Amino acid sequence: MMRDAVSIFPQYADILAECSLSGPIFVMGRSLGSSPALEVAVGFQKAISGLILDSGFADTYRLLERLGVNPRHLDASGRRAASNHEKMKKVMLPTLIIHGESDEIIPLSEGVALFEDQSCREKEILIIRRAGHNDLLILGIEYFDGIARFVRRVRRL
């Protein structure tokens, strides 16, 4: 997934140029997609205006344990390389973290950890009250408003 995202992103930028589409580019990843979104953000920071992570996770191995996979059977040397903690520390882009207060799959503490790992001063966290992992859009009227507000703010920077 991460390798694919990194190889696809430059092609996406080429397609935008071919279609005469310009303007700021925002990368967004939801849940498991937070990892490839972070990979793209780290590798293409100069081409991206902002990063949005929805229900993202900070620690890959903790996520695997919650999903019932025993990470001891995996190559431990890859733990730091697969860590969204480590990737987030390298991202110097304005970032919006969105997370459900009652997320039963990826706890809010993971979203907070990503927010705290973010080195850029231009960062924001939007916690959707009472929302779990898959009902953010239903319970969080502020979801799209938060994204729109973030994009407008970043465009003014």
- CA–CA gap between residue 122 and residue 87 (Å, rounded): 17
pLDDT of residue 134: 94
The pLDDT score that the predictor gives to residue 99 is: 97
Residue 80's pLDDT is what?
A: 53
Task: Collect the ranges in the chain with pLDDT lower than 70.
Answer: 73-82
18 assigned to some structural domain: no
- 13 in any annotated domain: no
Domain count of the fold of the chain: 1
Q: What is the pLDDT of residue 140?
A: 76
Predicted local distance difference test score (pLDDT) of residue 138:
86
CATH number, domain with residue 133? 3.40.50.1820
What pLDDT shows up at residue 45? 95
pTM recorded for the entire structure:
0.90
Structural tokens at position 86: 């480590």
Sign of CA dihedral 59, 65, 67, 69: positive
On whether residue 131 sits in a domain, the answer given is yes
Gap between the Cα atoms of 84 and 109, Å rounded? 13
Terminal-to-terminal C-alpha distance of the chain: 31
Residue 20 resides in a domain: no
Span 131-150, pLDDT tens digits: 999 999 887 789 999 999 99
**Can you give the residue range of the structural domain that contains 78?**
2-8+25-156
Q: Give residue 76's pLDDT.
A: 62
The pLDDT assigned to 79 comes to: 55
Is residue 19 in a domain? no
* Residue-wise burial string across 11-21, b where 16 or more C-beta atoms lie within 10 A, e elsewhere: eeeeeeeeeee
